[in-house]
Structure formats: structure tokens, C-alpha cells
Amino acid sequence: MSKYLFSFLIALIVVAFSQISIIHIAEGNPITKTLSLSTGDISLGPVKVMIDYSIQADLNHPPTALKGSTIDCKVSLRNGKVTITVSVAGQRFSHTADLPLGKRVEVPVAIGVKAFLYTTVSTPIQVSGKGESDLLSLDFLSEGTRSFKVHVSEGAMEGDSITISLPMHLNIKVGLKIDLLIFKADIAEEDIGSFKLNPTLESSLRITERPVPSSIILPGSSHFAIEIGIVLISGALGLSLFIQRRQLSSRKNILQGIVGVIAGVLCMISLWFPWVTYGGSQLTGIDLGSFLFQLTKISILQFLMYLILLLTLLLILGGYLHLAGFVAGRSLISAASRWLVALSLLLLIGLSFVFDIMIEVWGVIMIFGAILGVISLALTRE
């Protein structure tokens, strides 16, 4: 019966996480644009140069953010290409080449003479709406990815939007080079200025509110959970001293029971600490159930977190009963800890496949506590 129930839960959770993945992959794709410009004719002494330039740009950030949170934004530039049209002595010819930012490209314009140029990109960071960036601008001296953060105001309302705009400018340096067999040297170099790349790289994100845990749950404070944990462990140690003096239970049961209580307390405390980071904000294990329900409208995911909380309490109860010598304590520790290992591991594996959700360490501590509960029943001395 237990095997069939476990298989049924696995099937429901897999279906639920597949729905989350579909939602986020659809909403979380980066904004990708091809930015371009044309300078028109630029005079370099007797030579005129016209530059047509294009580059691929990506702007990536979460599709939603919680008010008061800070989100990470990434900007990538790649695949710079240039077409140089040179006019000299009445002749006009073009040359097309890859031109990565910060690299130099040379074009022959006459026997022993080459024109060269290299480029960089700079952009101010413009954030409209109830948000602000930690940086004023970004500089790309070479192609690659740059990052900045946007802080969402506490005064933002659910449904509000924040727009991030990056009006990029291409900085161009051009020059002439003597390129003879016995002599090579740059003879002229000029910074011809900054040119606006079109269109503007722009994207928006939507503000959502943090899921609110049900009122039947204990206060959502990590300090409260730690204090309760200390009381439970202290109570187990005090009870073990009393039982040992009265010889009401064996030393093996006392040791296994204390370790079982510690395992349950670890699992319980982990629920009040961050399990995942989403949209720049951390969600505790207690918050996670409501968050997943809001996201998918699948109530089994919210029930799953309540079930995990119930199992941690049963693990603690089993530890107390076992150290007191009750047979039911051993059964409770065994069943609760094994189910906790299976459910929490399955939950974290499922979340790790969801776009834009980062797993935090406290979910792993839940698994560690559950495994400690399994191990506690094998703590015997030879």
C-alpha cells in the first residue's frame, strides 16, 4: 500500500513541475536584438571611410520580481560585424569582416597602406518605474557578459511594471598604417566619436507579491524555530537523564532517540530558512508551498510542504517515544525519516529543473536531517 501511495505522489509532483517548467521557459527567454548603425563618410586625410556595424545583444532577467527584492540582470554582446567602405583617389571599395569588440581589423586602401579600426560599447542603465539600478552604466571593452542589479521598491504594487532600457553607443577609433616589408607603423589614429546603436535594448518585468503562508502555520521566524529546536533538544536530554537514572529504557534506545530528536529538529528548523531563490528573493520552506500553489494552482504542491512539516513533527515525537522505550517510537522514526528523504529529495530535484529557481542550502539540510533519522536506528555498539 505504501509503495502505491508513494508512486501516486511521484506522478502528481512530476506533472506539477512539468507545468511550472512550461510557464517559466515561456516567460523567461532573454530579449535578443541585432543592434546596428551607419556612420556615413568620415574623412581621414585623403581617405574617406564609411562604417556599417552590427552586433547581437541579449538582455536577460527574471520575468517577475517580488517587491523589495533585488534581481540580477545580465547583458551580453556578441558577433560584432563591420563593413568598411573606403574611398581613395576616386576609387571606392568595401570590405566585410568580423569585428569583435576591442579587436582591431585592418583593410588595405593602397599599396603599403591600410586603414584600421577598433570599437568598444558603452551604455547608461535606465530603469523606469519603482526600481533602481546599482550601476549607472556598463562598458564593454570586449565581447561577453556584464551584470547589474535592479532593486525593486517596497512601495511597488502587484501588477506594476519596471522597464529596463539600455541605449548603447559604439565608440570607434580609426587610423592609417604603413605596411611595407621593411617598415610597419601606425601613422594616424583618430577617435571619431560615439554613435548610437539602434534599436534600444529594452525589456520589462512584472511585480508580484510574496506568497503568504496560511495562518495555521507557526510564526514565520527562523529565530522562533531555532528557539523551539533548542527547547526540544534540551527536553530530550533532560528526559534521557531521568530515564537512565530510573533505568526505564536501554542506553541504545536513549542514544537512538536523542539522535532521532536532533534529526527531526534539523528538519524542522530548515523549513524556516530559505530553500530557493526566485526573482531575486528567497523563499523559505514554509513559504514554498503557497508559492508553488500560486504558480500552478495545483494544491498537491502546497499540501506536500504541510506533509513534510507533519513528518518532521512525527520524527521528533518518534525520537521522544523511542528514548522512553516505546516500540511505536522506532516505527515512527523509521517511517517519517524515510518519507522525508524521498519527498524532500524529489521536491528539490524537481525544482532544480525549473527556470530561474536557484536551490539554497537549507533544502539540502532537510535531506541531511532525514538521513540522520534513518541512521539513528542503526546506532548500536558492538
Rounded to an integer, the average pLDDT of 343-363 is 84
β-sheet bridge partners, residue 178: 113, 185
pLDDT score for 355: 62
In this predicted structure, the answer to whether residue 198 has a pLDDT above a threshold of 80 is yes
Least confident piece of the model among 100-104, 229-233, 276-280:
276-280
Confidence band (pLDDT; 50, 70, 90) for 27?
A: very low
pLDDT value for 226: 82
CA distance linking residue 12 with residue 5, whole number of Å:
11
pLDDT digits 0-9 by tens, 247-305: 777 788 888 888 989 999 999 999 888 888 876 667 888 888 877 777 677 778 788 88
Determine contact, residues 12/300, Cβ cutoff 8 Å: yes
Closest to 62 in 3D by CA, of 22, 113, 17, 27 = 27
The yes-or-no verdict on residue 64 having pLDDT over 50 is: yes
Query: For residue 82, what are the contacts with CB-CB under 8 A and spacing of at least 6?
Result: 51, 52, 53, 96, 97, 98, 99, 105, 117, 119
Quote the pLDDT of residue 20. Answer: 44
Domains of the chain, residue spans: 32-208, 210-376
Residue range 74-87, pLDDT digits in tens: 999 999 998 888 78
Q: What is the pTM of this model?
A: 0.51
